[in-house]
A and B are shown apart, each in its own frame.
Chain A
Amino acid sequence: MTVSVPTAAEQKPVVRRARRRTSINLVVGGVLFGVIVTVAVLSLFALPYEPSDTTGGRLQPPSGEHWAGTDRLGRDLFTQLMIGARLAMLTGLGSVAIAAVVGVVVGLVAATAGRWIDDALSSLLDIAIAFPTLLLAMLVVAWRGASLDSAILAIGLAGSAVIARLTRVTASRVLAQEFVKASRTSGTGTLRLIRLHVLPNVWPTLIVPLALQFGGAVVAEASLSYVGLGSPPPNASWGRMLQEAQSTVLVAPSAAILPGLLLVATIIGVNLLADGLRDVADPAGRSIR
């Protein structure tokens, strides 16, 4: 019986030992986002004042007692900012979860089902993508009433169309790869194929868009609240704080500036985090162990 002995050339491992980049994006994004998340979590347990406490005096500037000043009804702005952070995180998480689940499922169905279903779904997605988020949000609000849930549902559904299309394209590309054929030839069924090969290979392309959608969702909720379609009072969303501070911006600028700053910080944080995650998620850049 012949036993082949591997040649030296064949056994030499090709180890592309990429230098592990400590991603600055990841660190800065993580810190920014971490601060907001911490504030949001803290707001569940402790708030400096009751949200409806109006004893602070009207339109006070920031002071030792009211770190961010008070609004025109005398409510503590720092308290409202903390609650706003919680609402922003809820909005982001909720709508990204909806977008991810709905989008990935629809995208995978389109990629694996027959041509007719694929064509039909793709046309539907084209329409859905062209549909403005705010218009969709207004429809959902008209259907379910203005609430945070409605806003999250609308933003999530609007985002799912983009995710679905991205999933379909990426999944079809993965399904056409030789390793999927090789896996098929060893008897792997479609569902297992999706779990083993398609999802792990599609996921890295979805991380960044999903993280970007998190930022987008926070802005969209702020916009909805700004026009009065978001969470109703006394839940202080940053968007509603901006809207309320608008008429007094010259007298008490901090009431308008602070929620705006937090919005910007959240979005920058999430986007940097997304970039950092993409760097880490790519195993070709991973070291061997």
Chain B
Amino acid sequence: MTALLSVDSLGVHLDGVAGAPLVDDVSFEVAEGERLGVIGESGSGKSLTALAVLRLLAHPLRATGSIRLATGEGDVEVIGARQRRLDGVRGSTVGAVFQEPLASLDPLMRIGAQLAWPLRRHRGLRGDALRRAVLDALAEVQLAAPERIARSFIHEVSGGQRQRVAIALALAAQPRLLIADEPTTALDVTVQAGVLELIQSSVAERGMSLVFISHDLPVVAGIADRVVVMRAGRVVETGETRQLLSAPREGYTRTLVAASRALDDLLPAAPLDGGRV
């Protein structure tokens, strides 16, 4: 399989501040149809890596190294690409879902209108066809009453619905790679499972590649084929999910796995014993 995304010795620097880079020498590849998990504690540089891939780092943050995206018309080097070239690549090649759905949707635009733009731009739809496509897109992310949602402003729907809308927005341009940056962290636990399943099924149905960023090990274990473990801006360990979790080689990964296990062990015991073990 060919690599859809290849990141090679990526560094993220804070301009004007001396010291170690925030992300240092990070390399990984995502193959066509592959689901890659990126895991690490807060501040480990996983979100910065995602932003660099999307080229959303603003001054004073600066990316170095190489990020190559395979597109229909040849590879694009994201770092240093012209804005125009990048606009063509975004959406149709990469889509993104962020942590806080309330913030990732325009508060002054009806949901339907927001969804209409990428559909219009990337699929060239107009008029009735566009309206139907908007409702289809909302139905596809399992939102009941798509007509009502399309007419609503973002503050008028619930958190889980918001994230489903954000996913619909990311999928609208039919990207080949979806970057999900902690897409379930801001949601209730009960809602999380639904959104995760949605991401999983959409990725499977469309044969998309996925970069799933999270600090939640069990979540990543459930969704990713391969895992990159990051800490302090560096890749600590990479490997097949199953293998990495059953036999972590690095000390940090071992700590992570052990911590998750410990939490899991607590769960059934707590309600029965009333806290005493």
The interface of chain A, by Cβ under 8 A from chain B, is: 1-7, 9-16, 115, 176-179, 181-190, 192, 196-197, 200-201, 204, 283-284, 286, 288-289
Contacts and interface: CB of A to CB of B under 8 A. Distances in A.
A179 B170 CA distance: 11
A188 B84 CA distance: 10
Contact of A181 (B56, B83, B188): B56
24 contacts: A4-B193, A4-B197, A7-B160, A7-B191, A10-B188, A13-B157, A13-B158, A14-B159, A177-B103, A179-B105, A181-B104, A182-B98, A183-B106, A185-B96, A186-B95, A186-B121, A186-B172, A187-B90, A188-B91, A189-B84, A190-B83, A201-B106, A201-B107, A283-B107
Given A4-B197, A16-B155, A188 B104 contact: no
Contacts of A178: 98, 100, 103-104
Interface stretch (B29-37, B127-135, B200-208, B266-274): B200-208
B233 to A, nearest CB: 21
Contacts of A284: 107, 153, 155
A42 to B, nearest CB: 37
Interface of B: 54, 56, 58-59, 83-84, 87-92, 94-96, 98, 100, 103-109, 117-118, 121-122, 142-144, 148, 151-153, 155-161, 164, 166, 169-170, 172-173, 179, 188, 190-191, 193-198, 200-201, 204-205
Contacts of A5: 142, 194
A110 to B, nearest CB: 14
A2 B198 CA distance: 9
B188 A9 contact: yes
A179 B103 contact: yes
B155 A185 contact: no
Contacts of B155: 14, 16, 283-284
A45 B157 CA distance: 52
Contacts of A186: 90-91, 95, 117-118, 121-122, 169-170, 172-173
Which of the listed residues A176, A181, A183, A186 has the most CB atoms from chain B within 10 Å of its own CB?
A186
A4 B204 contact: no
Contacts of A7: 160, 190-191, 193-194
A7 B166 CA distance: 18
Contacts of A286: 153
Contacts of B205: 1
Contact of B158 (A1, A11, A200, A283): A11
Contacts, number: 154
A10 B201 contact: no
Contact of B104 (A1, A12, A182): A182
A196 B114 CA distance: 9
Contact of B190 (A9, A16, A200, A283): A9
Given A2-B200, A186-B118, A10 B87 contact: no
Which of the listed residues A176, A187, A286, A288 has the most CB atoms from chain B within 10 Å of its own CB?
A187
A9 B201 contact: no
Which of the listed residues A10, A181, A201 has the most CB atoms from chain B within 10 Å of its own CB?
A10
A115 B59 contact: yes
Contacts of A181: 54, 56, 96, 98, 104
A10 B118 CA distance: 25
A187 B173 contact: yes
A173 to B, nearest CB: 12
Given A184-B90, A186-B118, A186-B122, 6 more contacts: A5-B194, A14-B158, A181-B54, A184-B54, A197-B109, A286-B153
Contacts of B106: 179, 183, 196-197, 200-201
Contacts of B94: 185
B183 to A, nearest CB: 12
A126 to B, nearest CB: 21
A89 B56 CA distance: 46
A6 B108 contact: no
A197 B104 CA distance: 12
Give the top 5 A-B pairs by smallest Cβ distance, nearest first. Answer: A187-B91, A4-B197, A10-B160, A178-B103, A186-B91
Contact of A9 (B105, B143, B191, B200): B191
B229 to A, nearest CB: 25
